[in-house]
Amino acid sequence: DTGVSQNPRHKITKRGQNVTFRCDPISEHNRLYWYRQTLGQGPEFLTYFQNEAQLEKSRLLSDRFSAERPKGSFSTLEIQRTEQGDSAMYLCASSHPTGAAFFGQGTRLTVV
Amino acid sequence: GIQVEQSPPDLILQEGANSTLRCNFSDSVNNLQWFHQNPWGQLINLFYIPSGTKQNGRLSATTVATERYSLLYISSSQTTDSGVYFCALNTGNQFYFGTGTSLTVIP
């Protein structure tokens, strides 16, 4: 068990391009969370999966954002038509229903 | 919504000093965790502590769920303790994070 893995670690993209991030949770963790963090702020909730079902989605998540967890294992977060305001650290975490959550190293997105 | 408040917002310590970080929350808790965010941005899990007291080396934490607060104690601080400390509550489908305490330990 190597912990939560996120790829890529860094992404620089031009405004208007689409980007996709991947999160591989700790095996057998059925809960998976995506968060976004900007400089000087605490992490903000984006969305939550239990197995393959997306059970909660923040109102912060515009229609340009979509997340999937097709087989209840890894998850992807896609941002379409990126904007400069999307620049942030995107964090993924996983947990058992009654256990601690563990975060990955994050994907730092810069939109230029 | 659920409110999570951390204090102090900023803390500067001389190496070797002790400190207490506080987390107040507005709702009952299923799961409370303390994290340390390292300089590269990763959130490192320190404690999973919905209630009671736990210790891990120089760090310990106490949660009094009935009074809706949690404390993180750092003893004999080291420069590697520098960074931002977050508490986070999970009441179901998401974690609610506090605004963090930024700790700087100077040699």
Reported as a single tens digit per residue, the pLDDT across A24-55 is: 999 989 999 999 999 889 999 999 999 999 99
Summarize pLDDT for B44-63 with one digit per residue, the tens: 999 999 999 999 999 999 99
Summarize pLDDT for A71-108 with one digit per residue, the tens: 889 999 999 999 999 999 999 999 988 789 999 999 99
Taking chain B, what is the end-to-end CA distance rounded to the nearest angstrom?
A: 40
Structure tokens at A86: 């999307």
**Cβ contacts from A onto B, under 8 A:** 55
Residue whose C-alpha is closest to residue A6's, from A86, A96, A79, A109: A109
**Predicted pLDDT at B81:** 96
Quick check: B43 and A108 CB within 8 A? no
Cα–Cα distance between A1 and B64 in angstroms, integer? 32
Q: Check CB contact of A8 with chain B, cutoff 8 Å.
A: no
